Structure 1
Amino acid sequence: MIKKIFFLFFFVAYFQNYAQAIDHDIIKKTFQISRDTIQIDSLSISPYYFKVFNNKHQLINPENYTIDFVMANLFFKDQVFHLKEKVFVEYQLLPEFLTRHYKVLDRDLITEKTNDLTGLYNPIKANRNKNIKLFDGLYTSGSISRGVTTGNNQDAVVNSNFNLQIQGNLSENIGIRASITDNDVPLQEGGYTQRIDEFDRVFIELFSKNWKINAGDVYLQNNENYFLRFNKKVAGVYVNANVDHAWGKSQVFASGALVRGKFSSYKFNGVEGNQGPYKLIGQNNEQYFLIVSGSETVYANGIPLKRGENLDYVIDYNTGEITFTSLYPVNANMRFTVDFQVVENNYNRFITYDGVDLVNDKLEIGVKYYNETDFKNSQLQQELTEEQKQILAEAGDDKEKMVSISAVPQEYSKNKILYKKMLIDNKEIFVYSSDPNDELYEVRFSYVGENKGDYIIETTLAPGRVYQFTAPVNSVKQGSYAPVIQLIAPQKLQIADIDMKYNYSEKGNVKSEFAFSNSDKNMFSELDNDNNNGFAGKINWQQNIIDKKWKLDANADLEYISSDFTTVERYRNVEFSRDWNLTDPALLKDTGQGFFSGGLIFKNDEAGRINYRFEILNFEENFKGNRHNLYSDLTFGQNKIYIRSSMLNSESLSETNSFDRCYSMIKHNFAKAWIGGKLNYEKNKSVVKKTELLNNISHKYIETEVFGGVGDSTKVFTEIGYNYQTVDSVQNNHLQKVNHANTFFIHSKLIQSKNTDLAFNGNYRRINNVNYENEESLNARLFFRQNLFENLVNYNLIYETQSGSLPQQDFSYVEVEPGKGFYTWIDFNNNNIQELNEFVVAKFQDEAIYVRVLLPNVNFIKTHRNKFSQSVNVNMIKWQNDTGFKKMLSHLSDQAYFLIDANERRGAESRNFNPFRYEEANLLALNMQIKNSLFFNRGLQKFSTGYIYLNSRKKSYLSTGDQDNEIKSHQLQFSHKINGFWLFDVSGTLSEIQSRSDTYVNRNYILDQKEIFPKLSFLYSKNTRMELFYSYKNKENQISGFETLNMNTLGSSFQYSNRDKFSVTASFNWIDNKFEGNKNSPVAYQMLEGLQPGKNMTWVLGVQKRLMTFLDLNINYYGRNSEGSKTIHTGTVQLRVSF
């Protein structure tokens, strides 16, 4: 990373003299007319942006004035404005390099002839004294900072942040774009992953008319070649050049990079009435993985969906969970496929993608080469022992043999879950131990499936889960976990692809593509290498037969793929296997496949098209099938007809199949309305040859729908509809109905205007099952926005209800560098074991050395969710120029916000759709907030008064039991400036803080808190202020230990700020804590705010010095002292470069 940054500095600094100008921000000024001419600025004004407004903020016609942009003078014409009338001017200055005075030598330094040479002009010395500006001439933004934090309570920690954007021209023909982000954030709070350095970004692009060079984080993709389709986010270099020749054009490109993302795909079926989250699983059954952001494609029944809270789904890249919005209702007839890139750090992996394309009027030829190889001796997260390498060497390509015992000898550590070995019935097992005298092992357990392992989860401690051995019963295993790990073998994939297109006439062409692959799935092993090489080929013919108003085109494809051919990513339709009833991949594994398709396309530019296609698919002797396809999309006047149908007949070694499908839609449009209907029909009949019985995949599915709407579907509209579905499945060797569903839906945008928006979407579904209980679900969303009295009142409301699931969440705490965490550990029971209830939110930076990391879970509870939020903003300042009652109201403003997000356990009988009513017994998770802020003269410091009411509650559903926190508070604020130099502030707060835990008794408390906080500030100047303040807090615990605290704080602070030169801040606090109760408890830490009973002191000193126009030095020092404890000193030194 450092090398990349150094290269960027060197490269851009070398070319900085060729850069382009920098745009200036808009400047706003107020002038009082005293004569007919106003001097606006001392610099020249840009003629591209200049506006003048009168005292009513109305734009003045340019005919009433003239402007000299060079001299920045504004001239008013006679009898247009009165003296002492105010005008408001908005403008931009010309770029600095256009208004700057240029000179080779400074004439002011020329002296009279004398024998004293000390005053003579020295150009070298003069240049040194000039201000330096990095990347002068290029448009730049961002900064780089590097600092060190250390103290007597922590080790030294290096902090760095780098954020830089560059855009401009290095010369007349060469441009540059760059974006660099390198933030030192090693751990992600609340995610499954521990390291998130994948979020750093370095991108540099140099370009001209005929070539470009991309370096850093590059996006490689190929969507044109049939056998070599892929999308990769890599870190490396990509070069592309276009060359014109007498015979045509050519394009040459090459790339080399390190890649961490690896293609993965996961399939799952929707659950009736469950919007999610649905947990994604990796290719090797991993639950711990990080998805490359933005790399996913989600398909529902083969149709790609859109990501977004107001679209189809949202995804958590850290936890690998996908949730569908209420706008996209999920049912059991939906098949989902998610393609994504997984961040894989087992080995360093190198990728190269190179090629050349030659093009002229008749012929196009392309050659591509793709190589992706793991460096087997450059291991990252997976550190293989010699024994594990031998296991891989003997496994060949069989993943089931790539399994190793995970136990590794380890010294005792309080931050790790460790085990000792024991013998039970002559079987060696692992037992949790915290005894430093035992021979200890660090053991990783893998989820192997229900009743397939010998271990279960016993409990969860701060460092992670504790597993316990459970003996088999009647030779049946009782656990779901085993002390083994899946070994990942280094792999290599090479693909050479040649494609050609020959235009033999204006109406016809022939295309061909041939690809060769070399795939080694285990580079440690010489076994199973006979199946590494594969071949694939495809020939396509296209011909226009009739070229009139209705056109007729013919095409044909012939394709062959050997059994050992391997691609980077999927190249066929995501539902190809289902389309052809390929139910047993094992039968097709070692066979080559041949595919033929031919068809006719009848199309009209206005009416649409009809497409017929016949296909044949063979897997040598294992499978033979043919399919007829008909597709039409026609528009006749106000009528639209859409049909997609197919008929499949196939035979494999074990089955005969017929699969008929038809999806059709007809719609008629009126002037401002529409009606329509849909039919979706499937009948899949699969018969087992040996028994002549129906296969379980046999089914019949019929879906009918009618709908109608009024309005404009792109603006204001309402559409309602009814959907009926029936499903027949195999019952007693016959297709019999197992359920039918009735669905009513509405989609609407009732109002859309400048001041009002109103939209409602709803979907109610009821399933009547033959063999088990009926089910129903409701997904709905209401959105309303209203601006009243010309934006005096702004109101927003969102209501949403949906069915879903809630994970029973486990978590652990991971130690990080001091200051980069959120929690601290306090051994409340003095047993030297890190327990979950002993971690609290750190009050001081040097104590924040832990973050909470979620653990993958397999337990999801069915829930029904109601979410309601509304906000009201009232700002009457626009009446400040009025008189009477409006003038009085103009001093007031109010902000109100209400949110309730409740997840209740879903029952079979009924659901609660009222967000304001929920049963505590069924409540699993809750996020409730009520906040109202009422202000008088807000921000004016003239008898400014504010009242803030807060009521919040958050309940979490954890594997260790429910955790419930609640806060209620009333706060009154007052601020007033006296004689322009003195500022008096005072605030008073009454609050109640509750914490309830089902498992940990020491987490239960109810704190009544009172606080008064007066402060007097002396505003010596615009840059300097001094403050003296006093705070009194009274805290009483109403339950359990009944702890009490009286906290008196006396403090002062000093601030001096000169942004261009020097600034300093300092503060000192003397705190007297009179505490009664057990000081070694979570409630005591919360009450004492991390300090100790008795006398305490805290102090802060911060200094910032501008060394150069782009370079700042920041020094910060923090200290605290408590009775009976050592003095804590923490200091930070940081350099910051601004661009």
Structure 2
Amino acid sequence: MNRFWTGLFLVFFSSFGLQAQEIHPLRTQKIFEKPTDTLQLETSGINPFYFEVTDSIGNPIPSNQYQVNFPKGKMWFVAQKPTQKIVVKYQKFPDFITQSIQVIDSSSIVSNEAGVDKIFTFNNRKPGAPTKPLEGLQTSGSIVRGVTIGNNQNAVVNSNLDLQISGNLSEKVGIRAALQDNNLALQNGAYSQRIDEFDQIYLEVFSKQWNLRGGDLFLENRTSRILNFNKKVQGLSASFQFGEEDNQTQVMLSGSLVRGQYARSTFIGAEGNQGPYKLIGNQGELFVLVISGSERVFVNGVLLQRGENNQYIIDYNAGEITFTSLFPISSEMRINVEYQYTERNYNRLITYNRVKHQREKWYIETNFYLESDSKNQPLQQNLSPEQVQILQNAGNDPNQMIAVSAVEDAYSENKILYRKTVVNGVEVFEFSTDATETLYQVRFTLVGANQGNYQLLSNQAIGRIYGYVAPVNGIPQGDYEPVIRLIPPTKTQMVQMQGGYQPTEKTQIKWDVGVSNYDANLFSEIGNENNHGVAGILEASHQFDKKNHRFQTTSSWQWVQQNFRPVERLFSIEFERDWNLTQVQGNQSLLQFFVEHQFKKDSSTNFILNRYEFQKLDFSESYSGQKHRFFLQGKQNNFTYTSQSSWMKSTGSFSNANFLRSQNQLRYRLQKNWVQLGYQMEDVQEQNNATQALTALSQRFHEVSPSVGRGDTTKVFVNVGMVWRVNDSIRNQNLQRVNQSYTYFLKSRILQKDQQQLSWFVHYRDLLFADGITPKQSSLNSRLLYQDQYFGQLLQNTTSFENTSGTIAQQEFTYVQVEPGLGVYMWIDYNGNGIQELQEFEVAPFPDQANYVRIFLPNRNFVPTQVNRFSESLNFNPQKWKDKKGVLGTISKFYNQTSLLVERRVLRDGNRFDLNPFASGDDNLLGLQFNFRNSLFFNRAKQRHTVVYTFHDLKNRSLLSVGSQENNIQSHQLQYSHLVQKTWLLQLLSKTSQQDWITENFALRNFTIQSWQVQPKIGYLWDAQANIDLFYEFQQKNNQLADFEQLQQHRIGLQANYIGAKKMVINGEFSYFQNQFTGMANTPVAFQMLEGLQPGQNLVWRLLVQKNLTDYLDLNINYQGRKSETSQTIHTGSVQLRAFF
């Protein structure tokens, strides 16, 4: 009982936490951002009694829209698949239930009564029995081919491939494949915190001596420092292996199209800002699509891990990285992100080939790498002869690669076009919708404040509209110009050789040399004399023993010519900072000597110098530096000590520098408890040779971090501590105190059991400035997760809370037209001006109208925010009392399910922390997601007097570039069903709701709709395979704002279902609507009230036929139609064949 009251206290009064990923520790929740036709949930069986499919806001998806094969853990959609995110919640059966265990193949057992003098032949298949494709291989997935036609749209071909294959083609040849193809338009802008799509799509055939692979390839070379890279590409590769282990030759050949280009973003963290931080392209592109899984994130030189429970998450579609609350960001963090992004300016080809021969004591390897754009095959930029000439004359100077962007184009309502006109004797571009004029498609580039002659006039259409503004006294008044930066085709080529010789077990010699050829502009011959460069590494190591000591010495020399261009970085991620390099040029020489020491066996000497490094770096005559590094470790009784220290001294043409750093840790451990003291420091002092004054690169800090803890960090533990840090920087040409910070933290996992979890993380930081003017900056990050069950699973609870700081984008978006049925939105020209404006797009109610998708645009404006996330799931299940009588027996017939999700983003206001996720004030509210649902069941999952009452409260507020937008829905719903004489099913649904739309700048989209609905239904069940339903529905809707529109809707319909014994499913519905609407029909509020129908009489019908032609082949026929008083009859039909594997 004490544990129960403790749990309730934590549920309702906790102030820190973590958003839960699973409702129940034994149940699974999977989020599909872009669901395919068929979803493989598990490879084994799942429980049919705990299965739920909802949309992104928690609304259940009707079960007649999908089918589930529970034994195989697979579901598929029988009608049109959802175009937005869905959530699937289910419970997986334990493996020992679904696993088939068999010692002997029962089909091969012969009865002992059959006679022993007969010869038996075993046939696994009857003569003439149909064979299954790819039989004998382990397969899963499906192939879908279909066509959609209608009298309101053109024919559209739908295809979907989702197939995985593995197995053996013969005794020595195997096969692996993961294939996926989908021609449906995709919605960009979703966060890829979970990746449900395949990371690789490929077909691979292999044996012990060779391997052939086509599709997505992962080309990588990490054995060479000269040619160090990894690429995700699409193409073909072949590898072969000859000879034995001590005399072996390996050959690898590949050719492919490049999916991505390597890029690196470097920035300093903003104090208390978890993100998102924008990643950019090599040409300064604000919008990049990052290839999934290609990123590597370093903070202060340390590699981080992706994931909600790790350090960061990333939106691959938007190119934005956000750090989790478990990894607080401060202004002292240097963030480096390496990634590949899709760049489609030209067709780009890549080939990587390798030959390696290895003997017992030596090996030699040759690599050839070529990555080149096809300059005569531009993709995203259609170069004119004038633009090609500009690139030819520009050489390698990007500032010369600027061209006028105007291109003559035909009029289209889907485009923003301009005409030429003259203002004050200057020819300028002016927005126009006159189809009789000569029109141009113009791209505008942001050139800086008061550097251009155009400014943004409107962003409320599907594209931005710019206008000319005349200069004042010769000073430009705009920020944009009608020009574009041309992207030149490039080529990167390298030939690299490496080898090694091991004369003895303790001596080894390695070498690595490469020649690069980098052309930054294939159109121009200017500057090509600087395209080639050479780099080389020579390394020798030797190991020797002396008494109880073992020493490993390594010496290396590295030389890099100034024009050498690696494929990726050549050195460590913070090489330039470690050597205090800025813009040093010249041929580079790096000499290194390492000695490493360890004891051959336990020794009484506990504190040792574990490793010493000496490095000498030179850049021609302009720079020379030396570095010493020391690594110490020790142990004495219960004390452990580690230390890493270094000292670097450099002299250069313009400055001299000293760089001292040290990291130390002392820990005392007593049983499960420990006390720890950490100390770090850096001191960088760079002097200008001419003035002897310290430069701006000089800085210094000291950091002390005491902490105490108990337990094992992999299980149950608690760790409490603080960090004190002081920072010195240049003030008045001297190193002076600029700020100091105090950080307090708590890390814990208090409970860790099968049915119980409790973890808590808190990180609070104060940054105080020494100038007495700058105000203190405080930041708080916290996360709490609590899961428990009470009274023998009578109550099941999951609670989480998270608090963090970050930014929110003033999101810009547009709509792009696609084939009918492949989109989500439709356009209605409400004002009749022929311009597609953002407020004129609606979610299409019928497939033939869905011909637009929403595309999010690059963000430039971010607003600082504080974020609170709270989630609660509480289930009351008294099934344990079902055999009781009296009050407990009555209570056992009830079941209650409560869920709550709140994400609240408020404007960050100084050091004030708004920790209440339920605060009512909205003055600083920038974003809100509130979703509360409570369902009370009586006689759940039974057929007699079943009652369900559901209360749903949904609030959504978002910040857009066109202003804020808010949508609130609150509803009460009561459902009753009862089976009479096993053949008649009586159902009654009653619902009241209120929907509020509030938009900041679109008055026509502000409305409050109150509605009341009642729907009686009577169904007749012929048997378990067939039923027919007759229903009537009445709805009353009233708009409480503006023109006070009203709707009375009567609907009568017939619905039938048939599941044939021959694996056939037929589902049909016919509905008649009588809409008595008062108000203007061509308005957003009318569209919402009528739900896409028209005033007056409407007919809507649909028919779905699904036939299992064989055990692995399905036929789906889907037909929909509608008719209103003011429109012709619209027919839409689709035919699909789905093959299962």
TM-score band w.r.t. shorter chain: 0.7 to 0.9
| Identical pairs, percent | 40
In the alignment, which residue of structure 2 is the partner of 1:1112? 1114
In the alignment, which residue of structure 1 is the partner of 2:322? 323
Contact 2:609 2:630 in 1 (8 A): no
In the alignment, which residue of structure 2 is the partner of 1:719? 719
Contact 2:767 2:777 in 1 (8 A): yes
Q: Which amino acid in 1 is paired with 2:923?
A: A
> What count of residue pairs does the alignment treat as equivalent?
1032
Contact 1:809 1:959 in 2 (8 A): yes
Contact 1:27 1:90 in 2 (8 A): no
Alpha-carbon shift at residue 263 of structure 1 (Å)? 0.5
Q: Which amino acid in 1 is paired with 2:940?
A: R
TM-score, normalised relative to structure 1: 0.87
Contact 1:793 1:875 in 2 (8 A): yes
In the alignment, which residue of structure 2 is the partner of 1:218? 217
CA distance in 2, matches of 1:967, 1:422: 49
Query: Structure 1 pair 548/494, CA: closer, same or farther in 2 (3 Å)?
Result: farther
Alpha-carbon shift at residue 680 of structure 1 (Å)? 1.6
Q: Secondary structure of the residue that 1:291 maps to in structure 2?
A: coil
Q: Which moved more, 1:309-318 or 1:1107-1116?
A: 1107-1116
Structure 1 residues 935-1014: aligned runs within 5 Å: 935-1014=937-1016
Structure 1 residues 770-781: aligned runs within 5 Å: 770=771, 771-781=773-783
Q: Which amino acid in 2 is paired with 1:1100?
A: R
CA distance in 2, matches of 1:230, 1:823: 42
Alpha-carbon shift at residue 882 of structure 1 (Å)? 4.1
In the alignment, which residue of structure 2 is the partner of 1:808? 810
In the alignment, which residue of structure 1 is the partner of 2:107? 99
Alpha-carbon shift at residue 288 of structure 1 (Å)? 2.2
In the alignment, which residue of structure 2 is the partner of 1:600? 595
Q: Which amino acid in 2 is paired with 1:233?
A: K
Q: Secondary structure of the residue that 1:1126 maps to in structure 2?
A: strand
CA distance in 1, matches of 2:400, 2:1059: 67
Q: Secondary structure of the residue that 1:976 maps to in structure 2?
A: strand
Q: Secondary structure of the residue that 2:960 maps to in structure 1?
A: coil
Contact 1:26 1:90 in 2 (8 A): no
In the alignment, which residue of structure 1 is the partner of 2:649? 649
Contact 1:249 1:358 in 2 (8 A): yes
Q: Secondary structure of the residue that 1:962 maps to in structure 2?
A: strand
Query: Structure 1 pair 787/247, CA: closer, same or farther in 2 (3 Å)?
Result: closer
Q: Which moved more, 1:654-663 or 1:684-693?
A: 684-693
In the alignment, which residue of structure 2 is the partner of 1:33? none
Unaligned runs of 5+ in 2: 1-42, 49-70, 72-95, 111-122
Does the alignment pair 1:537 with 2:545? no
Contact 2:188 2:317 in 1 (8 A): no
TM-score, normalised relative to structure 2: 0.87
CA distance in 1, matches of 2:507, 2:241: 27
Contact 1:967 1:992 in 2 (8 A): yes
Q: Which amino acid in 1 is paired with 2:153?
A: Q
Contact 1:417 1:442 in 2 (8 A): yes
Alpha-carbon shift at residue 549 of structure 1 (Å)? 4.1
- Superposed CA deviations along residues 352-381 of structure 1, whole A, max 9, x for unmatched, are 211122223311211111111222222222
Query: Structure 1 pair 761/548, CA: closer, same or farther in 2 (3 Å)?
Result: farther
Query: Structure 1 pair 1029/381, CA: closer, same or farther in 2 (3 Å)?
Result: same
CA distance in 1, matches of 2:211, 2:649: 51
Q: Secondary structure of the residue that 1:392 maps to in structure 2?
A: helix
In the alignment, which residue of structure 1 is the partner of 2:64? none
- Superposed CA deviations along residues 1088-1126 of structure 1, whole A, max 9, x for unmatched, are 010011000001122223333322222211110111111
Identify which of 909, 913, 917 aligns with 2:919.
Answer: 917
Alpha-carbon shift at residue 876 of structure 1 (Å)? 2.4
Q: Which moved more, 1:925-934 or 1:887-896?
A: 887-896
Query: Structure 1 pair 973/241, CA: closer, same or farther in 2 (3 Å)?
Result: same
Q: Which amino acid in 1 is paired with 2:311?
A: D
The two structures, once aligned, show a CA RMSD in angstroms of 2.6
CA distance in 2, matches of 1:755, 1:1114: 43
Q: Which amino acid in 1 is paired with 2:171?
A: E
Alpha-carbon shift at residue 450 of structure 1 (Å)? 4.0
Contact 2:729 2:735 in 1 (8 A): yes
- Superposed CA deviations along residues 280-308 of structure 1, whole A, max 9, x for unmatched, are 11110001221000100010011111111
Query: Structure 1 pair 852/592, CA: closer, same or farther in 2 (3 Å)?
Result: same
Alpha-carbon shift at residue 784 of structure 1 (Å)? 0.7
Contact 2:145 2:159 in 1 (8 A): yes
CA distance in 1, matches of 2:450, 2:783: 42
Query: Structure 1 pair 643/479, CA: closer, same or farther in 2 (3 Å)?
Result: farther
In the alignment, which residue of structure 2 is the partner of 1:730? 730
In the alignment, which residue of structure 2 is the partner of 1:75? none
Does the alignment pair 1:692 with 2:687? no
CA distance in 2, matches of 1:784, 1:192: 26
Q: Which moved more, 1:88-97 or 1:940-949?
A: 88-97
Q: Secondary structure of the residue that 2:923 maps to in structure 1?
A: coil
CA distance in 2, matches of 1:94, 1:382: 62
Q: Which has the higher contact order (CA 8 A, sep 6+)?
A: 2
- Superposed CA deviations along residues 900-942 of structure 1, whole A, max 9, x for unmatched, are 1111111125221222225211101111111101111222222
In the alignment, which residue of structure 2 is the partner of 1:1049? 1051
CA distance in 2, matches of 1:355, 1:776: 54
CA distance in 2, matches of 1:238, 1:879: 64
- Superposed CA deviations along residues 377-396 of structure 1, whole A, max 9, x for unmatched, are 22222222222222211122
Contact 1:543 1:554 in 2 (8 A): yes
Query: Structure 1 pair 263/683, CA: closer, same or farther in 2 (3 Å)?
Result: same
CA distance in 2, matches of 1:784, 1:126: 57
Query: Structure 1 pair 937/850, CA: closer, same or farther in 2 (3 Å)?
Result: same
Identify which of 924, 930, 933 aligns with 1:931.
Answer: 933
Q: Which moved more, 1:902-911 or 1:1075-1084?
A: 902-911
Q: Which amino acid in 1 is paired with 2:761?
A: N
Alpha-carbon shift at residue 144 of structure 1 (Å)? 0.7
CA distance in 1, matches of 2:103, 2:135: 12
Alpha-carbon shift at residue 895 of structure 1 (Å)? 1.0
Query: Structure 1 pair 519/375, CA: closer, same or farther in 2 (3 Å)?
Result: same
Q: Secondary structure of the residue that 2:464 maps to in structure 1?
A: strand
CA distance in 2, matches of 1:660, 1:90: 62
In the alignment, which residue of structure 1 is the partner of 2:414? 415
In the alignment, which residue of structure 1 is the partner of 2:479? 480
Query: Structure 1 pair 443/24, CA: closer, same or farther in 2 (3 Å)?
Result: closer
In the alignment, which residue of structure 2 is the partner of 1:762? 762
Q: Which moved more, 1:544-553 or 1:496-505?
A: 544-553
Q: Secondary structure of the residue that 1:244 maps to in structure 2?
A: strand
Contact 2:200 2:217 in 1 (8 A): no
Identify which of 1066, 1069, 1084 aligns with 1:1067.
Answer: 1069
Contact 1:275 1:325 in 2 (8 A): yes
Alpha-carbon shift at residue 470 of structure 1 (Å)? 3.6
- Superposed CA deviations along residues 978-997 of structure 1, whole A, max 9, x for unmatched, are 22222112111010100101
Does the alignment pair 1:842 with 2:844? yes
Query: Structure 1 pair 484/637, CA: closer, same or farther in 2 (3 Å)?
Result: farther
In the alignment, which residue of structure 2 is the partner of 1:118? none
Structure 1 residues 868-887: aligned runs within 5 Å: 868-887=870-889
In the alignment, which residue of structure 1 is the partner of 2:354? 355
Alpha-carbon shift at residue 945 of structure 1 (Å)? 0.8
CA distance in 2, matches of 1:97, 1:967: 59
Contact 1:191 1:853 in 2 (8 A): no
Q: Which moved more, 1:273-282 or 1:681-690?
A: 681-690
Q: Which amino acid in 1 is paired with 2:107?
A: T
Contact 1:903 1:924 in 2 (8 A): yes
Contact 2:664 2:680 in 1 (8 A): yes
- Superposed CA deviations along residues 767-814 of structure 1, whole A, max 9, x for unmatched, are 111242221111111111112233332111111111111111111111
CA distance in 2, matches of 1:24, 1:319: 35
Unaligned runs of 5+ in 1: 1-22, 29-48, 50-87, 103-122
Structure 1 residues 255-274: aligned runs within 5 Å: 255-274=254-273
Q: Which amino acid in 2 is paired with 1:269?
A: I
Contact 2:1106 2:1117 in 1 (8 A): yes
Does the alignment pair 1:231 with 2:239? no
Query: Structure 1 pair 934/258, CA: closer, same or farther in 2 (3 Å)?
Result: same
Alpha-carbon shift at residue 819 of structure 1 (Å)? 1.3
Query: Structure 1 pair 1018/603, CA: closer, same or farther in 2 (3 Å)?
Result: same
CA distance in 2, matches of 1:599, 1:1022: 79
Alpha-carbon shift at residue 96 of structure 1 (Å)? 13
CA distance in 1, matches of 2:927, 2:700: 40
- Superposed CA deviations along residues 239-260 of structure 1, whole A, max 9, x for unmatched, are 2223234852222222121112
Instruction: Compare CA radii of gyration and give the structure with the larger one.
Output: 1
Q: Which amino acid in 2 is paired with 1:670?
A: L
Alpha-carbon shift at residue 478 of structure 1 (Å)? 4.1
